[in-house]
Amino acid sequence: MLNILGLTRFLQLGHIGAWPIVVAIGALPYPITFLCTDLISELWGEEKANQLVWVGLLLNGWVVLILWLGGLLPGLPGSDDSTFRTIQELSFGAIGASMAAYLTAQFIDVRLFHFWKQLTNGKALWLRNNGSTLVSQLVDTTAVVLISHYGAHVLPIDPESPLVPQLGSFIVGGYLFKVLAALADTLPFIWLTGWLRRWLDIPGDGVELLTPSINDRQVTTEAN
């Protein structure tokens, strides 16, 4: 639902210097997805985190499929389909832009998280949390703004004003919001990591519980 309605209204949440913080309503809960991905990465490893990214993509694909089928099947005679068609067209563009950016940024986030984890030998939890999120969210913000405009044509652009400053304002404003959200969730991330590790009885700091590979399962089966 946020992907469908997320680009229909933009909020101005203040200024940092000369830059306004302009954020689509769909972006408001989005930093939480990076927090969840980082938690999965820290507790269960890169493989599980990547699986979570694919699950998110499949769920959004399911929504697109339902909307596509809803437009394909015959409607009630005499009913007005104009509202549905408008929402359908907007949702295809919004979900497409969001998912392209989501997939790219989330895989970058997971890879960078484990890059920093290996570089610091499992130390500096705050560094891999912020070092992965700040880079991946810049990619996400830039991609979703550019795809939303050039691919889906859903951004509220003033045709009488220069295009590049408007796109830059959307990118900078959205990224500033995500930077502030990422910095604000650093302490909650550290606390949640410790609490979940104790609550779920996950052994040892930095231990990754990887899903057994197909070859491992075959060897086990043959041994039995």
pLDDT of 19:
65
Q: Report the C-alpha gap between 46 and 208 in whole angstroms.
A: 8
Cα-flanking dihedrals φ and ψ of residue 76, to 5°?
Answer: -65, 130
pLDDT digit string, tens, across residues 147-180? 877 876 777 788 888 888 888 888 888 888 888 8
pLDDT of 211:
45
Q: Which two tokens stand for residue 208?
A: 């990754």
- Which pTM does this prediction carry? 0.73
For residue 165, the one-letter residue type is P
Assess contact for 38 and 129: CB atoms under 8 A.
yes
CA triple 222-214-58, angle to 5 deg: 150
Please list the helix, strand and coil fractions of the chain in percent, rounded to the nearest 5, in that order.
70, 5, 25
Task: Evaluate whether the domain defined by 2-223 bears CATH number 1.10.1760.
Answer: yes
SS3 state of residue 204: coil
Domain chopping of the chain, boundaries = 2-223
Q: Which helix (H) or strand (E) holds 69?
A: helix 46-72
Average pLDDT per consecutive 10 residues, the chain (224 residues; last block may be shorter): 59 70 74 86 88 86 82 75 72 74 87 91 89 90 83 77 86 86 90 89 59 47 50
Q: Which two tokens stand for residue 34?
A: 């990076």
